[in-house]
């Protein structure tokens, strides 16, 4: 695609260019001797300590000094330093980087240690704002190549935050921006985040929209005849706007992009950590062009504007290949479009990465090793069911088994699993796909989602005839999933004998670690918390909002699970059409912890808020 860009590897991110390299390992070597007298900037920067000569000795000596400093401040032990030095001389990365990778030091601790070592200040990019005017001084490609973020002007000097400073790096930046530069230190991940959020791909959309409007205006003036779809080149404004919207979506970790025509404008919204956020409003006139462009990319029929359509496209974003699933629908305001971003580089989680408590994880992984029967994941849309299904598959898959899937869509490609994607046009539904799988001698079958009676019947039959079936169901919790089957008209004894267990789940947003602070919940929140078995009366936390979490107070998510395991007692209750309450109280008596209990446990640990638990428990 037009805007594919080379991704910087971390390893070369802060290394000064060859032109100014004076030693084999510039990052730590010359920086360690951040001298004052011989350098243009230093006289005005009082924080720079007097230091030896600008020509540093061997890198080993410099590493050793940094290492000794770290030991001296009790951040690492002598043994850890030795191990890190050995690994570092083999890999060629910087000492600090090695220590972080080995889990010896956190990035924050490393930043403070480097700051003390070099005599620089630490920049808090999470709290302090970058002066937007300085962003124009350092172009985005320079910022990414050097992993350097401009912060503000300090007199004539431009303050720039970097992860691992060196004099070569400072000089190189100084040359590139054409003015004196002084360095400050920040953790590498903060720098990467700051670059992604400040150099917004959508930042230049305004100009593109203007260009679009002037072209449209002149075209309309030139000819009142219907100019339907003029051919558009790669540099056409609409094409670039679509590219920028998708690029920004990836950088913001969005799972979905919504392009929605509404009164006089087109809204662009991203779904991030499960919640929609408005990103852009564009003039209404550009809406049809945007949707047409996306439809062309996704091989959809651009003349058809009334019927809903589905399509898929593959695009390179920041050096990563990304699959995007497109769905359009005609609203009364015009054609709207939703894009689901499927990042193929995301690795599939293993079961023990899902965040299940140890006992739940053990019980679940024992259950999914059963040779036949059915396991169901239950939850609303966006509760992480697909992740659990995939983790389950990678747990049970082995060369002695034929593992087959029917999915809508295939979100991750396993090397040794036979995956089928539903295709309405070709007549492949979950039910027909599942029937064709059964003729392929399968051992393990994944049915992406059970939505209809026919699929349910075939799945139950397969589970009863010697296959292990795992699937997901849209239901509030484990018990209501069993009742969904009963309501579909599946015989109760069939359900009782085929289902091994149901895992109900939700994803809760985690409190942002950068702005976490204690607070007093509202009386309503406290009521909910105590009703759910919570015992605290103080010591609650929330995020106050900061740059790092787009001022939402939340960053990333964590799963909560309730695992209902079919026991003889529960089977009898299911056969007898017991109510949901009867089933639930029996399951709890037999040791099931409900999602609500688990979520309240996360509140007690300061991982999430009561407000977030309430929001997630009442969604379906």
Q: Three-state SS string across 475-530, please?
A: CCCHHHHHHHHHHCCCCHHHHHHHEEEEEEEEEEEEECCCCEEEECCCHHHHHHHH
Structure tokens belonging to residue 79:
């043994």
Burial class (CB in 10 A: 0-12, 13-18, 19+), 308: exposed
The pairing of beta strand 275-283 with beta strand 516-519? unpaired
> Which region among 388-396, 414-422, 477-485, 549-557 touches Zn ion (by CB under 5 A)?
549-557
**Minimum distance from residue 509 beta carbon to Zn ion (Å):** 11
Distance between CA atoms of 312 and 424, rounded to whole angstroms?
Answer: 14
Select 412 or 548, whichever has its Cβ closest to Zn ion: 548
Contact between 194 and Zn ion (CB under 5 A)? no
* Among the listed residues 403, 515, 574, 595, the single contact to Zn ion using CB under 5 A: 515
> Which region among 8-16, 316-324, 371-379, 544-552 touches Zn ion (by CB under 5 A)?
544-552
Select 433 or 543, whichever has its Cβ closest to Zn ion: 543
* Among the listed residues 500, 549, 566, 595, the single contact to Zn ion using CB under 5 A: 549
Select 458 or 515, whichever has its Cβ closest to Zn ion: 515
Select 375 or 549, whichever has its Cβ closest to Zn ion: 549
Select 194 or 444, whichever has its Cβ closest to Zn ion: 194
Select 127 or 350, whichever has its Cβ closest to Zn ion: 127
Structure tokens belonging to residue 563:
């695992």
Q: Three-state SS string across 252-270, please?
A: CCEEEEEEEEECCEEEEEE
Looking up tokens 């695609």, which residue turns up? 1
**Minimum distance from residue 278 beta carbon to Zn ion (Å):** 19
Q: Which residues of 58-69 are buried (b: 16+ CB within 10 A; e: fewer)?
A: ebeebbeebbeb
* Among the listed residues 546, 563, 603, 607, the single contact to Zn ion using CB under 5 A: 546
**CB-CB contact of 565 with 502 (8 Å):** no
Long-range own/partner contacts, residues 595-599 (CB < 8 A, 24 or more apart): 595/477, 595/504, 595/505, 595/506, 595/560, 595/561, 595/562, 596/532, 596/533, 597/532, 597/533, 598/357, 598/560, 598/561, 598/562, 599/506, 599/508, 599/532, 599/560
Select 515 or 607, whichever has its Cβ closest to Zn ion: 515
Select 134 or 514, whichever has its Cβ closest to Zn ion: 514
Query: What DSSP state is assigned to residue 181?
Result: E
Straight-line distance from the first to the last Cα atom of the chain, in angstroms, rounded to the nearest whole number: 37
Select 217 or 513, whichever has its Cβ closest to Zn ion: 513
* Among the listed residues 212, 430, 548, 561, the single contact to Zn ion using CB under 5 A: 548
**Minimum distance from residue 46 beta carbon to Zn ion (Å):** 32
Angle at 530 between CA 529 and CA 533, to 5 degrees: 95
Q: 392 to 411, contacts with Zn ion by CB under 5 A?
A: none
**Minimum distance from residue 603 beta carbon to Zn ion (Å):** 18
Select 353 or 556, whichever has its Cβ closest to Zn ion: 556
Structure tokens belonging to residue 171:
């000089």
> Which region among 289-297, 310-318, 530-538, 540-548 touches Zn ion (by CB under 5 A)?
540-548
β strands within 157-274, DSSP E: 157-162, 181-185, 254-262, 265-272
- Provide the mask over 475-514, with x wherever binding to Zn ion is found by CB under 5 A and - wherever it is not: -------------------------------------x-x
Tell me the site size for Zn ion, rule CB under 5 A.
7
Backbone φ and ψ for 63, nearest 5 degrees, come out as: -55, -40
Select 190 or 477, whichever has its Cβ closest to Zn ion: 190
**Minimum distance from residue 545 beta carbon to Zn ion (Å):** 6
Query: Which DSSP helix (H) or strand (E) runs through 34?
Result: none
Classified as helix, coil or strand, 343 is: strand
**Minimum distance from residue 550 beta carbon to Zn ion (Å):** 8
Spatial CB neighbours of 276, under 8 Å, sequence gap ≥ 6: 258, 269, 270
Looking at beta carbons, which residue is closest to Zn ion? Answer: 512
**Minimum distance from residue 538 beta carbon to Zn ion (Å):** 22
**Minimum distance from residue 126 beta carbon to Zn ion (Å):** 7
Distance between CA atoms of 162 and 146, rounded to whole angstroms?
Answer: 8
**Minimum distance from residue 128 beta carbon to Zn ion (Å):** 13
**Minimum distance from residue 140 beta carbon to Zn ion (Å):** 24
**Minimum distance from residue 171 beta carbon to Zn ion (Å):** 35
**Minimum distance from residue 6 beta carbon to Zn ion (Å):** 31
> Which region among 249-257, 286-294, 491-499, 537-545 touches Zn ion (by CB under 5 A)?
537-545
Structure tokens belonging to residue 417:
């699993």
The candidate with the shortest Cα–Cα distance to 391, out of 449, 350, 358, 419, is 350
Distance between CA atoms of 394 and 386, rounded to whole angstroms?
Answer: 12
Select 374 or 546, whichever has its Cβ closest to Zn ion: 546
Spatial CB neighbours of 511, under 8 Å, sequence gap ≥ 6: 541, 542, 543, 553, 554, 555, 606, 607, 608, 609
Q: 7 to 36, contacts with Zn ion by CB under 5 A?
A: none
**Minimum distance from residue 117 beta carbon to Zn ion (Å):** 28
Select 180 or 543, whichever has its Cβ closest to Zn ion: 543
Q: How far is CA 386 from CA 420, 446, 515, 567, 603, in A?
A: 15, 11, 30, 26, 25
**Minimum distance from residue 552 beta carbon to Zn ion (Å):** 7
Select 117 or 548, whichever has its Cβ closest to Zn ion: 548
Interface with Zn ion (CB under 5 A): 512, 514-515, 543, 546, 548-549
């Amino acid at each position: 695609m037009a805007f594919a860009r080379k991704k910087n590897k971390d390893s070369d991110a802060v290394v000064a260019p060859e032109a100014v390299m004076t030693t084999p390992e510039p990052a730590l070597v010359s920086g360690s001797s951040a001298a004052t007298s011989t350098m243009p900037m230093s006289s005005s920067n009082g924080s720079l300590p007097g230091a030896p000569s600008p020509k540093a000795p061997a890198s080993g000596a410099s590493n050793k000094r940094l290492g000794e400093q770290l030991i001296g401040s009790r951040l690492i032990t002598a043994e850890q330093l030795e191990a890190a030095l050995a690994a570092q001389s083999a890999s060629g990365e910087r000492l600090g980087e090695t220590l972080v990778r080995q889990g010896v030091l956190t990035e924050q601790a490393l930043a403070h240690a480097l700051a003390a070592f070099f005599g620089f200040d630490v920049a808090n990019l999470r709290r302090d704002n970058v002066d937007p005017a300085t962003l124009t001084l350092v172009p985005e490609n320079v910022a990414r190549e050097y992993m350097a973020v401009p912060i503000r002007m300090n007199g004539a000097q431009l303050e720039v935050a970097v992860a691992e400073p060196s004099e070569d790096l400072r000089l190189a930046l100084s040359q590139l921006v054409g003015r004196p530069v002084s360095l400050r230190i920040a953790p590498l991940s903060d720098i990467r985040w700051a670059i992604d959020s400040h150099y917004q791909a959508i930042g230049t959309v305004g100009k593109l929209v203007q260009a679009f409007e002037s072209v449209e205006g002149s075209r309309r003036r030139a000819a009142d005849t219907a100019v339907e779809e003029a051919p558009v080149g790669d540099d056409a404004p609409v094409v670039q706007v679509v590219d920028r919207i998708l690029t920004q979506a990836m950088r913001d970790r969005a799972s979905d992009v919504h392009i929605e025509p509404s009164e006089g404008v087109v809204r662009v919204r991203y779904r991030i950590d499960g919640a929609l956020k408005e990103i852009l409003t564009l003039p209404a006139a550009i809406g049809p062009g945007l949707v047409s462009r996306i439809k062309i990319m996704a091989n959809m029929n651009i003349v058809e504007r009334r019927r809903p359509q589905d399509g898929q496209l593959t695009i390179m974003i920041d050096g990563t290949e990304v699959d995007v699933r497109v769905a359009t629908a005609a609203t009364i305001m015009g054609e709207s479009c939703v894009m689901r971003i499927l990042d193929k580089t995301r690795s599939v989680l293993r079961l023990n990465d899902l965040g299940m408590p140890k006992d739940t994880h053990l019980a679940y992984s024992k259950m999914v090793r059963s040779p036949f029967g059915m396991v169901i994941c239950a939850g609303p849309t966006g509760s992480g069911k697909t992740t659990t299904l995939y983790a389950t598959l990678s747990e049970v898959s082995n060369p002695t088994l034929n593992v087959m899937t029917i999915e809508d869509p295939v979100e991750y490609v396993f090397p040794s699993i036979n995956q089928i994607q539903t295709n309405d046009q070709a007549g492949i539904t979950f039910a027909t796909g599942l029937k064709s799988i059964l003729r392929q001698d399968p051992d393990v079958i994944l049915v992406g989602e059970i939505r209809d009676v026919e699929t349910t019947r075939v799945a139950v039959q397969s589970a009863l005839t010697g296959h292990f079936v795992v699937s997901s169901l849209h239901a509030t919790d484990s018990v209501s999933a069993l009742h969904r089957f009963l309501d579909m008209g599946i015989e109760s004894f069939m359900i009782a004998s085929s289902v091994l267990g149901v895992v109900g789940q939700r994803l809760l947003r985690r409190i942002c670690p950068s702005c976490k602070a204690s607070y007093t919940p509202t009386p309503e929140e406290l009521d909910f918390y105590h009703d759910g078995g919570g015992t605290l009366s103080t010591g609650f936390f929330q995020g106050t909002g900061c740059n790092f979490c787009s001022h939402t107070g939340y960053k990333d998510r964590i799963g909560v699970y309730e695992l209902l395991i079919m026991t003889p007692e529960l089977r009898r209750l299911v056969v007898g059409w017991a109510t949901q309450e009867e089933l639930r109280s029996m399951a709890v008596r037999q040791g099931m912890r409900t999602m609500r209990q688990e979520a309240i446990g996360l509140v007690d640990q300061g991982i999430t808020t009561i407000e977030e638990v309430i929001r997630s428990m009442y969604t379906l």
